[in-house]
Amino acid sequence: MRALLPAPVLVPLLFAAFTVLAHRSRPVQRAIAITGVLVALVAAIAILVVVERDGPQAVTLGGWPAVVGITLVADMFSALMLVISLVTVLAVLVFAVGQRHSDDMLAFHPTYLALTAGVSLAFVTGDLFNLFVSFEVFLAASYVLITLGGARPQVRHGMTYVVINMIASTLFLTAIALVYATFGTVNMADLAEKMGTVPEELRTALALLFVVVFGIKAAVFPVFQWLPDSYPTARAPVVAVFAGLLTKVGVYALVRTQTLLFNGDLPDALLLTLAGFTMIVGVLGAIAQNDMKRILSFHIVSQIGYMILGLGLFTVSGLAGAVFFLVHQIPVKTSLFLVSGMVEESAGSTALDRVGGLLRRTPVVAALFGLAALSLAGIPPFSGFIGKLSLVEAGFGSGDYVIVAVSLVGSILTLFSMAKIWNGVFWGVAERPTAAVGAGAGRLKVPALMTSATIGLVAVTVAIAVLAGPIYDLSYRAAEGLLDPAPYVRAVLGS
Partner 1 sequence: MTVLTAALVGILYGTGVYMILQRTLTKVVLGITLLSHGANLLLLTSGGSAGLAPLIGRFTGDDTVADPLPQALVLTAIVISFGMTVFLLALAYRSWQLTRDDVVEDDIEDRRIAALAHRGHPPDPDTVPPRVQDLDEFADEETGAPE
Question: For binding to partner 1 (CB under 8 A), which residues are involved?
Answer: 68, 105-107, 129, 132-133, 136, 140, 143-144, 147, 149-153, 155-156, 158-159, 162-163, 166-167, 169-171, 173-174, 176-178, 180-181, 184, 186, 229, 232-233, 288-289, 291, 294, 349, 351, 354
Q: How far is the CB of 291 from partner 1 (least distance, A)?
A: 7
DSSP-derived pairing of the beta strands 71-74 and 57-60: antiparallel
194/490 with CB nearer partner 1: 194
C-beta of 266 vs 351, nearer to partner 1: 351
CA angle 97, 99, 103 (to 5 degrees): 70
Provide, rounded to whole angstroms, the least separation between the CB of residue 353 and partner 1: 9
Of the pair 285, 410, the CB lying nearest partner 1 is at: 285
Note whether 304 and 278 are within 8 A (CB): yes
DSSP 17-39: HHHHHTTT-HHHHHHHHHHHHHH
CA atoms within 13 A on the CB side of 441: 5
Looking at the Cβ atoms of 54 and 431, the one nearer to partner 1 is 431
- Least distance CB 322 / partner 1 (angstroms): 30
CB of 143 to partner 1, least distance (A): 6
Q: How far is the CB of 62 from partner 1 (least distance, A)?
A: 13
* Closer to partner 1 by Cβ: residue 107 or 379: 107
Cα maximum dimension of the chain = 73
How far CA 60 is from CA of 14, 72, 109, 144, 465, in Å, comes to 20, 6, 30, 31, 37
d(CA 473, CA 253): 22
Least separation in angstroms between CB 162 and partner 1: 6
Residue 96 or residue 255: which is nearer to partner 1 going by CB?
96
Instruction: Write out the DSSP string of 60-108.
Output: EGGG--TTTS-EEEE-HHHHHHHHHHHHHHHHHHHHHHH-SS----TTH
Residues 189, 73 contacting (CB under 8 angstroms): yes
DSSP state of 423: I
